[in-house]
Amino acid sequence: MTLDEIALQVTTEALNEIMLKWHADAPPVSLLESRVARFPFLENGASNNAFFLELTVSSTPKGAIPNTIVLKAGKNISGTAERELRFYKLLAERGQIPQIAQCYGTRWLEGADCGLLLLEKDIADEIVYQGPVEQHLEHYKTAARVLAELHAHWWDHPDIGTGIFKPHWTDELLSSAVGWAKTGLARFVGYGRVSSTERQSITEILSITQPLLVARAGRKQHLCVNHGDAALWNFVMDKLDPSIVKLIDFQMWCVNPPAWDIGYMIFLLWPTEFRARFGSEIIESYLNELEARGVPYGEAEFFEDLRICIVGLITLNMANYNLGLWPYEQVKERLSWILEAYHELDCSRFIRPRHGSGPV
């Protein structure tokens, strides 16, 4: 059987188990139709680490599940699908966050090393993004406010540092990430794809990534749950109602400083010229929303965390190239943008020795 056939078979079982949890005498439901889901980030229903089907099911009792839902089958690349299932199980235990797409059930397919999620589909006509372009600036501001809401919900939460809420920046994980990034850099160099100046900068950056990020996580202050893949296409928005925004795709969620998501969105994914024109507006929207929610995170602290995150994002970019998650053209483009930000924000201060003690 193919993966989608297995997924549909298990989903039928999952649907009925979910129904019985809601209504002890609920009649069995069945799948009436499945079709390729249409999200802005998909091509023929698939991304680089998952595929999506839109399902229509037979009528269900009111308050159970909608008649139209989305099945996500995520590939377990470096454990990402398992992390996403744990995240949604956590939400089920602790309460739904309004701006996160609701999950009605989860399943794990051992043989396929794949995670299944049953997600809400309540936006009939999503905005399709191309860019970044100026016409989507208001959508980016909305996305920044949604991220602030997510971050504020978990800001310095008492669970941070325990169980699955341990900071993402550990010696073990970063040792692997830096190793992958070094291999990715070697491949770039081997193909003549980086200049000698870029190579030197990246080599220096990779030498400080692990101690710098581990030290920041060790401060245990102002850490929160981050989405981890805060691209605009992971914010499903309604064309007709701008108040309807649903954040999806939590395969890369992590506990990091809050600047990680904003750094990812506008410093890694935006061209330098576009960021120079509009980046400050997004940061302002984000910080204002945090302030409105009573979260103490000033601009100076944000930018200091951002510099650390830029070091981590350069490492992530090269590691994902080595792992085959991001293609060369994409990585090369993003590398040029994030390196420009690295020099612009004087992130090299972390490399300059202080009293001969190594990275600052």
pLDDT tens digits, 128-175: 666 788 888 988 999 999 999 999 998 988 888 888 889 999 999 999
- Summarize the confidence of residues 338-343 as an average pLDDT: 96
Domain spans of the chain, in order of start: 3-120, 134-350
Which pLDDT value is given to residue 305? 98
Query: Residue 321: its pLDDT value, please?
Result: 93
Cβ contacts of 164 within 8 Å, gap of 6 or more: 83, 86, 90
Task: Report the chain's mean pLDDT, rounded to a whole number.
Answer: 86
Q: What is the CATH number of domain 134-350?
A: 3.90.1200.10
Classify domain 3-120 by CATH number: 3.30.200.20
Half-sphere exposure of 205 (CA within 13 A, CB side): 31
Please report, for residues 141, 168, 316, 338, the alpha-carbon distance to residue 173 in angstroms, rounded to integers and kept in the order given. Answer: 32, 7, 12, 22
Decide whether 3-120 matches 134-350 in CATH topology: no
Once rounded to an integer, what is the mean pLDDT over residues 263-276?
Answer: 97
The confidence band for 92, taking pLDDT boundaries of 50, 70 and 90, is confident
- Find residue 54's DSSP bridge partners: 35, 70
Give the per-residue pLDDT at 356: 46
Find, among 282, 254, 236, 256, the residue nearest to 54 by Cα: 236
What is the share, in percent, of the chain residues with pLDDT greater than 70?
A: 89
Measuring CA to CA, how many Å separate 200 from each of 57, 185, 186, 194, 249? 56, 11, 12, 10, 35
Cis peptide bond N-terminal to 132, omega within 30: yes
User: Does the pLDDT of residue 238 top 50, yes or no?
Assistant: yes
Question: Going by DSSP bridges, is the β-strand pair 224-226/114-120 parallel, antiparallel, or unpaired?
Answer: unpaired
Q: CA-CA distance, 125 to 136, in Å (whole number)?
A: 16
Q: Please tell me the predicted confidence (pLDDT) of residue 108.
A: 85
Is residue 6 a contact partner of residue 112, using CB atoms and an 8 Å limit? yes
Q: DSSP secondary-structure letter at 164?
A: G
